[in-house]
Amino acid sequence: MEMTFRWYGNDDPVTLQNIKQIPGMKGIVTAIYDVPVGQVWSRERIRQLKSDVEQSGLKLSVIESVPVHEDIKLGRPTRDELIDNYIQTIKNLGAEGINVVCYNFMPVFDWTRTDLAYELQDGSTALIFEEEVAKKMDPVKGELSLPGWDSSYSKEEMKAIMDAYSDVDEETLWKNLEYFIKKVIPAAEEAGVKMAIHPDDPPYSIFGLPRIITCKENLERFINLYDSPYNGVTVCVGSYASDPNNNAVEMLKAMLDKNRVNFMHARNIKLTGEGKSFQESAHPSEYGSIDMYEVVKALHDANWEGPIRPDHGRMIWGETGRPGYGLFDRALGATYLHGLAEAVAKNAKQ
Ligand code: DNO
């Protein structure tokens, strides 16, 4: 595995030098954040990003994300032009030597939590999701402030986009995803860029919106939309495990068997036992519901060599910053994963 770390660009309070100093760190996961969704990323901008990263001695390993315009997810007539732009961005990334792109197909909201700074017993704060609280939230009333979605929607725009989705059920979303995949993957193959769809987080419908990248069966359906290793997945074990019906390790193994794991997100969550509610926890197995040893072992047993990153961290030691994306707890997560990998590899040789 190649250990990587997400970096939000030159405005990120976590610097490339901070990241470089984390033991075992090899690569950066980042994106161009100021090109509006739907427009082409120029080769020049990609080259600039790559050179910024490489100056730190790290590699630009993964783009997370090239976002998919809502019109594509909605299947609107404008989608063809937007898909052409998407393909051009993928070609430009490939031409600049970038080989993995993470994206998602979640309507309107990316990852969603009900509290971004819930105080755990040890005084650290974590991201949590409480099913009952989420059920009472109404995005149209402007009640949400979440890190993963575009807060630039005005109240009216939010209402319009939520209304637009009232006609889109899961099957329609599948059709729109298939349309996108069948155009994008052949171009990605040619460009040498492995696509890696991120799970819906949490992996079930929220606010009445359809969500489809959610469970083992749907992952199988997804990879069968287009049979190619370039049509792969990001296995985010924390996202999948937040549905108590999922076995994230089994899902990972199934995707490894099919050679479709193009990117790994490794973080832990603790199901609280109240429906689908969960709290994000420190990475080690003893704090959460996921056995991280089994995750790393599955990757080792499959001789998997792709990029992996620790995912959300808690806020510890007084750090403030972007929810889930501070330096300290993610760095601890990375060294923990690195340690597990060394132990699993050495043990296998004995
Ligand atoms: C959350 C992230 C997601 C992910 C996108 C991929 O922390 O894992 O926001 O980047 O869903 O498109």
pLDDT digits (tens, 9 = 90+) for 1-37: 999 999 999 999 999 999 999 999 999 999 999 999 9
Contact partners, residue 9, CB within 8 Å, separation at least 6: 30, 31, 32, 33, 49
The residue nearest atom 3 of ligand 1, judged by CA position, is 111
Q: 104 alpha carbon to ligand 1 midpoint, in Å?
A: 7
Q: What is the pLDDT of residue 153?
A: 81
Q: Evaluate whether 152 touches 67 at the Cβ level (below 8 Å).
A: no
Q: Which residue has the tokens 């969500």?
A: 211
**What pLDDT sits at residue 28?**
98
Regarding the beta carbon of 234 and ligand 1, being less than 6 Å apart is answered: no
Residues of the chain with pLDDT under 50: none
For ligand 1, atom 6, name the residue with the nearest CA. Answer: 103
Is the beta carbon of 64 within 6 A of some atom in ligand 1?
Answer: yes
Find tokens 């575009």 and name the residue. 150
Tokens 């890696």 correspond to what residue? Answer: 196
Question: Distance between CA 300 and CA 281 in Å, rounded?
Answer: 24
Model pLDDT, residue 140: 84
Residues 6 or more apart in contact with residue 285 via CB below 8 angstroms: 268, 291, 292, 293
Q: Provide the b/e sequence for 286-301 (b: ≥16 CB within 10 Å).
A: ebbbbbbebbbbbbbe
The sheet that has 115-119: what strands, in order across it? 115-119, 125-129, 278-281, 268-271
148 ligand 1 Cβ < 6 A: yes
State in Å: Cα 64 to ligand 1 middle: 7
- E strands, 71-137, are 100-103, 115-119, 125-129
State the Cα–Cα distance between residues 264 and 191, nearest whole angstrom. Answer: 21
Active site amino acids: 198, 236, 265, 311-312, 325
147 CB less than 6 Å from ligand 1? Answer: no
Residue 321, ligand 1, Cβ within 6 A:
no
Intra-chain end-to-end CA distance of the chain, in Å: 20
| 314 contact partners, CB below 8 Å, separation of at least 6 | 120, 124, 125, 126, 280, 281, 282, 329
Compute φ and ψ for 314, nearest 5 degrees: -75, 170
Rounded to an integer, what distance in angstroms lies between the CA atom of residue 27 and that of residue 49?
Answer: 13
